[in-house]
Structure 1
Amino acid sequence: MTGKGKSVLFLINRLRERLWFRPAVFSISSLVAVFAAGWVDGSDLGHWLPDIDRETVETLLSILAASMLVIATFAVGSMVSAYTAAANSGTPRTFNLVLRDDVSQLAHSTFIAAFIFSVIARVSLDEGYFKGDGHFVIFAVALLVFAMVVLVFVYWVDSIARLGLLGPVIDRAERATRVVLEQNRRRPWLGGVAAEGRAPKGFSVLTDTVGYVQEINVEDLQEWATENDARIRIMALPGTFLSPREEMARVWFREATPPELELQKVATCFTVDRDRVFDQDPCLGFVVLSEIAMKALSPAVNDPGTARKVLQTMLRLLDEWRQPLQAGSAETPFDRVELPAVDVGNLFDGAFTGIGRDGAGTVEVAVALQKTLSVLAASHDRDVAEAALRHSAMALARAEQALSLSQDLEAVRAASPGYGQA
């Protein structure tokens, strides 16, 4: 579903996942540099610049044009190989995180932009677009481009060598999850207010497609509700899977219903598409991390160390997320839009159910899971503590069925939060 409800930031994040976006921006910048040189050539500033031979400029531009096309082709092949390795070591849900690799996109964009700049500058030079004053500007820009290409290439080679490794994939998932968790911590209801009690009877806003809620533009919802003296209760948070004709929101009015009720404007504030995205979905990061751990625990991989690393990452993220804010720190600028809080139980289901199932027969993973849940069970947050105890009991029950050695089972029991309690 598309509409005015899509925020600029959401669109920028989607563009960042496209490999053509940065090369296009950098290529336009290279065109601007050539035309800027022509402008300097026709202005009084050109008299202050030193003279430089045209053949020198042509030689440098020819070297750039010949080498950049080869390097750009090599970069594309290396990026595809690294992306494939990262997707194979992680899960399909991690692929978009890898595509956001800023270093690879910076390198690819720089090489293509340098090639386009050198070709356009050389053609402009041959067609007499520049006079003597413009030669120095083009030469200086070409030297700057050449130096930037060398620095970016060296930095990129060091980065691309680690891009396909599993460790950096986990780190990327952690960073993306931390960003959305911090946003949720400061705006626990996306800037709206907490939904309390059952939603009053009103007009239902239904979806007309199948997919996940990717983004909710609460600011536009607030504007619509203010204009119509209404209140809106969000029924489907980002990350929720919707079927056709399922309720996304409910609208009710303080007094009379407007004569022309345009609920479609409310619907356009929701972005529903095939896949989940990180932007407003705190649970997705834990699902991705859990999938990485489950793949590591498969018989084909048999890597319990990765599963333990994932558990450590999850514990760190959850501990940071549930730290209490100072009174009044939560931002709630949209008082006409009500949203439920993130379901901690659902988040724990996505994070720990798969690891508890697939790691039940591996004692070191089962122990690490119980230790993680023990820390969370001691949390000051009641929802977190209850969810941790529930998953600890489930994981322990699975371990009792999967582990045959009594010493292994006792180690798992000893690590559980309920060990020794009546």
Structure 2
Amino acid sequence: MKKKLIISYNRIREHLWFRPFLFCLLSVAGALIAHQADGIGINDIVPNIDKESIGGLLDTIAASMLVISIFAVASMLSAFSSASSTATPRSFKIVVTDDVSQNALSVFIGAFIFSIVATIALDNGYYEKAGRFILFLFTLILFAIVILTFLRWVDRISRLGRLEHTINQVETVASKSLSAYIKNPSLKALTINGIFPNENAVMANSIGYIQHINLEDLQSLAEEFELKIRLNCIPGKFVHSNFAITHFVMDKNKDIDIDNIRKGINNTILVGQTRLFDEDPRFGLISLTEIASRALSPGINDPGTAIQIIGSHERLFFLWNKEIENSNETEVVYNRIEVPEISMEDFFDDAFRPIARDGADNIEVMLRLQKALNSIATINNLDIKENVIRNSRDAYERAQKAINSEHDLNILEKQCIFKNE
């Protein structure tokens, strides 16, 4: 249940209206709570704040905040459009959840709502002496928050949607999901081992990408009916109605409604039309590589961005090195479920193959790619080392066909790790 709530919250907070809505509720509550000060006996010790001075301050906030809120929305939409067109449309989900921008818009709209509610209450005699004083303090605090938020937001909006900032945001999100995967590649379940009977297949009930698998509920289902379940998918996998997402076997021959079990298993697997970054470690790598491929297209011709992306990939692959240094055995929590792991070949193909293909004729990009592979090869992981050699060879062979200069090829060849193995 807790996991479901977290997933639902993450989806809701991606909407632009969510935080402004929360701030509006807080603003209304703040304007009304000030009235409670009239009943706690502090009228004799607080200064008498003139109603007109509070009203003037509230009118100023009301008049300015609506204009600034409209300006903020327009600026954010422009940044979102820029991120989608200059980077990749997949980055939109990340840019739209920018905390600073959403908080700024929320404060601006919340301040506007506060001023309207407080003005109406003030004009209708809702506050006495103590209430007016507390309302005045709330208004001053809100005014200070608005100014500080606006200054911070101006700095962020100047960078929001810019290509370099978008790359950093995508890399940060990719790093979180990839780190979580490296720590628990089998998602705290069992890794696939041995032959598994295929007679009880569970077909997907919709077409799309696996977005989330509720292993906790799946484990409970397996314990209830004494099942062993083998997943045939993980988040990021595209499935269709003829695809077996799982197979299961029963510990004992029991009279169980198989269709009911299939329905229960399907209910634990969320399928959507798009991939999500949260639990899909490959999606971050793919999104970064899409930015590099766009930059290497003839119409844009920006090899510097591709080189920057290669650096991002290098940092992400070194997360395996960090995990090796802090390696601990992962506790198996879901002992009735087997989960497939992502092959290292898929990670490398997502990160480097499109760049090697689209940047094959650019010596600077190819040199940076080979140097990055040399760096990644220092990680104490045999699987990584094998894929480094494979990708190094593939990139060099592509460059051989695209680069006409023998001098450039000789320089590139010296950087190829597969030549030294």
Q: What's the TM-score bracket when you normalise by the shorter of the two chains?
A: over 0.9
Gap change, CA 1:198 and 1:411, over 3 Å in 2: farther
* Residue 259 of structure 1: aligned partner: 256
Does the aligned pair in 2 maintain the 1:194–1:341 contact within 8 Å? yes
Gap change, CA 1:179 and 1:265, over 3 Å in 2: same
Give 2:89's match in structure 1, choosing from 92, 111, 114.
Answer: 92
**Residue 410 of structure 1 pairs with residue 407 of structure 2:** no
Q: How does 1:226-375 map to 2 (within 5 A)?
A: 226-261=223-258, 262=260, 263-322=262-321, 323-324=323-324, 326=326, 328-375=328-375
Does the aligned pair in 1 maintain the 2:205–2:266 contact within 8 Å? no
**How far off its partner does 1:419 sit?**
1.7
* Residue 208 of structure 1: aligned partner: 205
**How far off its partner does 1:267 sit?**
0.8
The separation in 2 between residues aligned to 1:45 and 1:221, in whole angstroms, is 58
**How far off its partner does 1:380 sit?**
2.1
**Residue 177 of structure 1 pairs with residue 174 of structure 2:** yes
Output the amino acid matched with 1:148.
I
Gap change, CA 1:381 and 1:200, over 3 Å in 2: farther
Output the amino acid matched with 1:284.
F
Deviations 1:298-342 (A, max 9, x none): 112111111111111101111113431655442432222211122
Gap change, CA 1:198 and 1:44, over 3 Å in 2: farther
The separation in 2 between residues aligned to 1:266 and 1:5, in whole angstroms, is 18
Displacement over 4 Å in runs of 4+? 45-48
* Residue 198 of structure 1: aligned partner: 195
Output the amino acid matched with 2:365.
V
Greater Cα shift, 277-286 or 41-50 = 41-50
Greater Cα shift, 280-289 or 390-399 = 390-399
The separation in 2 between residues aligned to 1:92 and 1:197, in whole angstroms, is 41
* Residue 68 of structure 2: aligned partner: 71
The separation in 1 between residues aligned to 2:191 and 2:33, in whole angstroms, is 53
The DSSP-based 3-state class of the residue aligned with 2:158 is helix
Does the aligned pair in 2 maintain the 1:5–1:216 contact within 8 Å? no
* Residue 24 of structure 2: aligned partner: 27
Output the amino acid matched with 1:266.
I
TM-score for both structures, normalised by structure 2:
0.95
Output the amino acid matched with 1:218.
L
TM-score for both structures, normalised by structure 1:
0.94
Deviations 1:15-34 (A, max 9, x none): 22110011001111111112
Does the aligned pair in 2 maintain the 1:5–1:270 contact within 8 Å? no
Unaligned runs of 5+ in 1: none
Q: How does 1:1-12 map to 2 (within 5 A)?
A: 7-12=4-9
* Residue 114 of structure 2: aligned partner: 117
The DSSP-based 3-state class of the residue aligned with 1:232 is strand
**How far off its partner does 1:235 sit?**
0.6
**How far off its partner does 1:392 sit?**
1.5
Does the aligned pair in 1 maintain the 2:320–2:379 contact within 8 Å? no
* Residue 393 of structure 1: aligned partner: 393
Output the amino acid matched with 1:193.
L
| Cα root mean square deviation, aligned | 1.8
The separation in 2 between residues aligned to 1:383 and 1:420, in whole angstroms, is 18
Output the amino acid matched with 2:126.
Y
**How far off its partner does 1:359 sit?**
0.6
Greater Cα shift, 14-23 or 327-336 = 327-336
Deviations 1:207-264 (A, max 9, x none): 1211111111111111211222222211111111112231111222211345234221
